[in-house]
């Protein structure tokens, strides 16, 4: 089963996804895509680490998400990916902010292929970015567009799609 959980910043989407993983009754493999590049991000990552059960297996992978999904695709496991938005920024732009089209194309194709063949349970968390105003700069517009397209494709592959707003889950599919 594939579940996509969307929501804005601090919407409660990660907490909701973690609860779904707990309720699965399976071994949880938490796949973290964030990289701690500054103190604020280190603090955010720390809060996420403190909020989840310590017995969960954590795999940190900022780029090769499909490979990790393929490795842990088992019936007795529930994979929890948090989050696709950070993964997207990692594959779309290099550390200097330059577009890396080949990496982006290869990794998104690998992810879609992985999800199309997935046989276990996976919960994918991502930020819904398309509800605000259109950004003024080209790079941000590209990122928001790619996030929207990513969400549409994954929603098509998903068995369940949930939008979390103010901590309240709304099942869309």
Residue 172 reports pLDDT greater than 80: yes
Residue 165 reports pLDDT greater than 90: yes
User: What are the structure tokens assigned to 145, written together?
Assistant: 């567009």
Least confident of 26-30, 35-39, 114-118, 133-137: 35-39
User: What are the structure tokens assigned to 33, written together?
Assistant: 């895509």
Strands 168-171 and 160-165: antiparallel
Mean pLDDT across the chain = 92
Residue 15 reports pLDDT greater than 90: yes
Domain covering 2-171 in this structure, CATH number: 3.40.50.300
pLDDT in tens, 24-80: 999 999 999 987 777 787 777 777 777 778 899 999 999 999 999 999 999 999 999
* Catalytic site positions: 48
Residue ranges per domain, the chain? Answer: 2-171
Residue 117, classified by CB atoms within 10 Å of its CB into exposed (0-12), middle (13-18) or buried (19+), is: exposed
């Amino acid at each position: 089963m594939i579940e996509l959980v969307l929501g804005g910043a601090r919407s409660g989407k990660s907490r909701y996804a973690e609860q779904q993983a707990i309720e699965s009754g399976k071994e949880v493999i938490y796949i973290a895509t964030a990289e701690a590049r500054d103190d604020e991000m280190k603090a955010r990552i720390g809060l996420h680490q403190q909020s989840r059960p310590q017995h969960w297996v954590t795999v940190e992978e900022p780029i090769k998400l499909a490979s990790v999904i393929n490795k842990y695709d088992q019936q007795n496991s529930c994979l929890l990916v948090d989050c696709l938005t950070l993964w997207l920024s990692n594959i779309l732009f290099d550390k200097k902010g330059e577009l890396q089209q080949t990496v982006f194309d290869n990794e998104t194709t690998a992810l879609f292929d992985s999800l199309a063949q997935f046989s276990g349970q996976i919960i994918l968390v991502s930020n819904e970015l398309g509800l605000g105003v259109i950004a003024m700069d080209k790079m941000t517009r590209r990122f928001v567009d790619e996030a929207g397209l990513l969400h549409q494709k994954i929603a098509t592959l998903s068995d369940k799609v949930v939008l979390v707003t103010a901590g309240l889950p709304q099942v869309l599919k």
